[in-house]
Amino acid sequence: MKDLIGLKTSIGEKIESALNAQIKVEAHSSSIYLAMASWCDYQGYDFSSDFFLEQADEERAHMMKIFHYVKNRGGKAVSPEVVNVPQDFESFRSVFEQALEQEMHVTKQFNNLADLCFKEKDFVTFQFLQWFLEEQVEEEYTMRRAIELFDVIGEEGTGAWDIDKHIPKITFDRG
């Protein structure tokens, strides 16, 4: 019977634990983006509010993709507790700066996961992570472009309103 339990999962303990930690990172990102959407909405930045609502949905979808992967490999996916989500932001620009910092953190976490996969010789999980690593290039690019709008347009006068209108127009060319 003990040998059958060992066959139940094809994912190692370290990888399972790291993936569950990533599930929590994605859930936290989703919650941060919801808070950013709410803040933008309250400030009158409707396009940015919608943008961050979409980001929140994307992060939740990423979380669920990892969650399903863990359980489909026979592991135990854990529903994360999310705490310490900021609800207020210093400025319109700071929202996007914090979003970029969050995306850079997520990229670092995925790089650490990929490194762990090599160390554990779990090339199936490494292959699974490739999509997320490519996705992070787009996520960081989008936030950087948003911040560049603040530099190019400026927030004076109707600048913040113009920036808000341009946020949904940011596109990433996958080549």
Q: What is the pLDDT of residues 7-32, one digit of tens each?
A: 566 788 999 999 999 999 999 999 99
- Phi and psi, residue 170, nearest 5°: -70, 125
Residue 3 has pLDDT above 70, yes or no: no
d(CA 51, CA 151): 19
Residue 2 has pLDDT above 60, yes or no: no
Q: How many domains does the chain have?
A: 1
Asked if residue 21 is part of any domain, the answer here is yes
Residue 41 has pLDDT above 70, yes or no: yes
Tokens 């303990």 appear where? 13
Question: Domain range for residue 95?
Answer: 11-169
Asked if residue 84 is part of any domain, the answer here is yes
Asked if residue 3 is part of any domain, the answer here is no
- In this structure, the number of other CB atoms found within 10 A of the CB of residue 139 comes to 23
pLDDT category, 161, cuts 50, 70, 90?
Answer: very high
d(CA 37, CA 70): 30
pLDDT at residue 1, as a whole number = 44
Residue 125 has pLDDT above 90, yes or no: yes
Half-sphere exposure of 56 (CA within 13 A, CB side): 15
pLDDT category, 5, cuts 50, 70, 90?
Answer: low
Segment holding 54, helix H or strand E: helix 46-72
Q: Which one-letter DSSP state was computed for residue 73?
A: T
Q: What percent of the chain has pLDDT over 70?
A: 95
d(CA 48, CA 56): 12
pLDDT digits (tens, 9 = 90+) for 80-118: 888 888 889 999 999 999 999 999 999 999 999 999 999
Asked if residue 123 is part of any domain, the answer here is yes
CATH for 86: 1.20.1260.10
Asked if residue 26 is part of any domain, the answer here is yes
- In this structure, the number of other CB atoms found within 10 A of the CB of residue 12 comes to 17
